[in-house]
Structure 1
């Protein structure tokens, strides 16, 4: 029996495959976002605005962890699916084993570095004197869970690549449920404040990470050997090549987040809002936006095995059909969130605790302006994942960097010089539109390339 006949990725109806793989992936991504959202809500209610600002200051550490996890997780999963689709089963497992081991090693390194340079990092990330004590408490504890966070975030890609999307979802969901239960218990019952929220997050991450290990020990279809778990340079290099786009995109997000925190601190202090209100509001809104972005990224991650296997098997029409249907779903989701962000900004921000009228006024304006292009914002992360999945690492990296580095970072540095703190708000939709146009152009070019391959012209 041929590889194609053995694997439903090559034969099953595309719409059915998308539903099977993307729904668990979307739920997994949304659950991952809930780690931060739930903390933000309970901290806002139990600690206050300074606690919310502290989680925003700590957020770059989380982004860096995610960057490493996606670099290794998506890179190893993409190589696994491409090699599996081409019929190289044993070689495919070598990539999976190498990626799994590197996730744990890199997580430990991040924890050590974060704890060793905790106070300087918080200052660099934009903490004010009022926010600093909360940021030190929160980040110092959550750093302990980093190895489990990287293992879970990256390992879930390998679990999906192994055709077990439901188990991947269960890993993320279990950790989030534990976090949600423990947050109010530790904050309000034990009176641990922001430290309680941090410990709730860590414990949820530990359980999720252990579930990933149990999967590959007991349940995986790929059946890794001990020798395949030893990191090797040649496999690590190819993993990094295909995971680079997603990893670099997260690093870019961290750079933008740090820059934005410092810009908001500077220009907020010069405005009627003060420095702490913009930092707190921007942190809340970025985490709410993660719920929406988790849909676009979840669609991309869910489709990754479909893209990769069929491209490796030279079934290009199935690759294009998958992209078109996935992109349509991302746009529909974007329209729904756009409506919510424009009509209900105050109601959304109120979930995260109270504040002054200035606090709510800034939050409403920031929501409506910065998030104005939400209806097309799912296309860029989904397309970056598409290019990575078919082995076009450079294109995936270019697309992943368009919004954050090419457009948003320069705009948040330049526009505030002209418009003050409002410049940060208007930088968002301008960068989003420009990135969407470039992304669509690259995708159309790739479609033409696949059609030429089908016609035998190249």
Structure 2
């Protein structure tokens, strides 16, 4: 199959061809998260609470893979835009070396720190034995996940978003099919959800190994200096995601302190449904980012500006529609995912606030990927740290004493909206200008 031409003059068509598959891929990820919660929710509030508490921790580890992947994808696309395909293969080779070392190191460290991590996350005592059985298999899925994330982003960086979609569809589809088998038929309960994920990951990584054997994309180990551009783009994204997941961990711990296991389960379920709307929007932006990076590599400022304009318009329109769907569907969907009345009530109340954050999140994502493509890592970091970092904590301090448990989704929404205002300010002052790319291809 011929790779898409990232310099195609038909921009709307090119953006749809790259963005929609990546959007579908992350939609499958979000659907998988919700289906997982639905199956685990049938086991009771305690397993669902453990899943909710450990999901942000999994996101914290995955942030390393996403940061590395985004950095590699952006620099690969810029190298291709500068007509240097051998450099693109060397970047991929270095990326795999770093991801492999991270995967092994993390697995060893996490095995040794099982109990301290569970206590740090605020796992209730009555759920601790359940979490201890789940944690070792979860850490294996996190290590394999780092490699899988890098494969996805390297394909997207080459404009092969459809290949990424097919492998994600295989992985998440197989995972959802295996969930009831491992959880109920084999009687593994919560641990079965992790075993289903691990099985699907091993199959998917085998497919990726075959894909990367092709001569034009076979990774080569290049000079260590090539890590510089990867890290300049990737580290701010990894830091932003890490802060975001730490924010979610803190919010879930607060919910446990304010109203117990049911509050954790309800808010955790609401956050999964929020991601069901946000991840597709993020996927589209990630899929289109190589077009921006390629245009920067080619020095085509008008093309950069046009892509940014189309992305912003789409973010506001689609984000508004997604918010309406989330608001209207909160009660019926939560009723399907949990039989516990208190869990459902907490989830619906949270979703009615969180739905309002969706358009703001979409706008912030578009501006952030524009900063990454332009190699403006410091501004990308400041913007990425805003919603669940330096803007969230003042909002929590202001609202929690007055509104209690309801303050948690309110604070998340307020911080997201203020982050969107910051993104608009960066746009207004030309901070995404291709005249300040910072790093050559």
TM range (shorter): over 0.9
Out of 321, 328, 332, the residue aligned to residue 343 of structure 1 is 328
User: In 2, distance between residues paired with 1:276 and 1:360?
Assistant: 13
Q: 1:9 aligns with which of 3, 6, 9?
A: 6
User: Where in structure 1 do 4 or more consecutive aligned residues deviate above 4 Å?
Assistant: none
1:448: Cα distance to partner?
Answer: 7.8
1:158 offset after TM fit, Å? 0.5
Equivalent residue number for residue 439 of structure 2: none
1:122, distance to aligned residue in structure 2 (A): 1.1
- Structure 1 residues 60 and 428: alpha-carbon distance in aligned structure 2, compared to 1, 3 A threshold: closer
| Aligned equivalent of 1:183, options 170, 179, 182 | 179
Q: Is the 8 A contact 2:19 2:284 kept in 1?
A: yes
- Unaligned ranges ≥5, structure 1: 1-5, 269-274, 454-458
2:199 corresponds to 1:203: yes
> How far apart, in 2, do the equivalents of 1:365 and 1:55 lie?
20
State whether structure 2 residue 99 is matched by structure 1 residue 72. no
Partners of 2:317 and 2:105 lie apart in 1 by: 40
Q: Does 1:158 align with 2:149?
A: no
Identify which of 53, 60, 80 aligns with 1:57.
53
Equivalent of 1:26, from 23, 27, 43?
A: 23
What is the distance in 1 between the residues matched to 2:33 and 2:412?
A: 21
Other-structure match for 1:114: 110
| Structure 1 residue 302 corresponds to structure 2 residue 302 | no
Question: Residues 264 and 165 (structure 1 numbering): CA distance in 2 closer, same or farther, change over 3 Å?
Answer: same
Match of 1:282 among 267, 271, 277: 267
Look up the SS of the partner of 1:421 in the other structure: helix
Q: Does the 8 Å contact 2:323/2:359 carry over to 1? A: yes
Match of 2:38 in 1: 41
2:420 matched residue in structure 1: 436
Task: Give 1:271's aligned residue.
Answer: none
Contact (CA 8 Å) 1:407, 1:434: kept in 2 or not? yes
**Contact 1:72/1:243 (CA < 8 Å) preserved in 2?**
yes
Further displaced range: 283-292 or 375-384: 375-384
1:172 shift after superposition: 1.0
Aligned to 2:408: 424
Q: Please give the alpha-carbon distance, in whole angstroms, between the structure 2 residues aligned to 1:206 and 1:414.
A: 46
The alpha carbon displacement at 1:413 in A equals 4.1
Q: Is the 8 Å Cα contact of residues 278 and 358 (structure 2) preserved in structure 1?
A: no
Distance in 2 between the 1:144 and 1:71 partners? Answer: 20
Q: Is the 8 A contact 1:299 1:330 kept in 2?
A: no
- Structure 1 contact 85–312 (Cα < 8 Å) conserved: yes
What is aligned with 1:224? 219
> 1:36-65, CA deviations, whole angstroms, 9 ceiling, x for partnerless residues?
2221111112x1111111111111332123
Using the TM superposition, name which of 173-182 and 420-429 deviates more: 420-429
CA distance in structure 1 between the aligned counterparts of 2:432 and 2:230, rounded to whole angstroms? 27
Q: How much has 1:426 moved relative to structure 2?
A: 1.7
| Aligned partners of 2:60 and 2:246 also within 8 Å | no
1:365 lines up with 2:356 in the alignment: no
Greater alpha carbon shift after TM alignment, 49-58 vs 105-114:
105-114
Going from structure 1 to structure 2, the CA distance change for 1:447 and 1:401 (only over 3 Å counts) comes to: closer
Checking the alignment, whether the CA contact within 8 Å between 2:27 and 2:279 is kept in structure 1 is yes
Does the 8 Å CA contact 1:82/1:390 hold for their aligned counterparts? no
Distance 1:359 1:168 in 2: 35
Please give the secondary structure, in 1, of the residue aligned with 2:124.
coil
* Aligned length, in residue pairs: 434
| 1:262 corresponds to | 253
User: Could you say which residue in structure 1 is the equivalent of 2:208?
Assistant: 212
- In 2, Cα distance between the equivalents of 1:147 and 1:279? 26
Structure 1 pair 145–373 and aligned structure 2 pair: CA distance change class (3 A)? closer
Distance change (3 Å), C-alpha of 1:265 and 1:366: same
* Structure 2: unaligned runs, 5 residues or longer: 437-441
Q: Secondary structure at the match of 1:153?
A: helix
SS in 2 for 1:9: coil
Give the TM-score, by structure 1 length: 0.90
Out of 124, 129, 136, the residue aligned to residue 125 of structure 2 is 129
Alignment of structure 1 residues 230-245 onto 2, 5 Å? 233-245=224-236
Mapped partners of 1:222, 1:370: distance in 2: 41
Deviation for aligned residue 1:307: 0.3
Structure 1 residues 448 and 108 mapped into 2: Cα distance closer, same or farther (>3 Å)?
A: closer
- Give how far 1:447 is off: 6.8
Paired position in structure 2 for 1:456: none
2:392 and 2:104 map into 1 onto residues whose CA distance is 31
d(CA) in 2 for partners of 1:402, 1:35? 27
Q: What is the match of residue 272 of structure 1?
A: none
Q: Distance in 2 between matches of 1:112 and 1:33?
A: 28
CA RMSD between the two structures: 2.0
CA 1:54–1:265: 2 relative to 1, 3 Å: same
What are the superposed Cα offsets for residues 253-289 of structure 1, whole Å, 9 maximum, x if unpaired?
2210221122112222xxxxxx111100111111111
* 1:406 shift after superposition: 1.6
Checking the alignment, whether the CA contact within 8 Å between 1:104 and 1:148 is kept in structure 2 is no
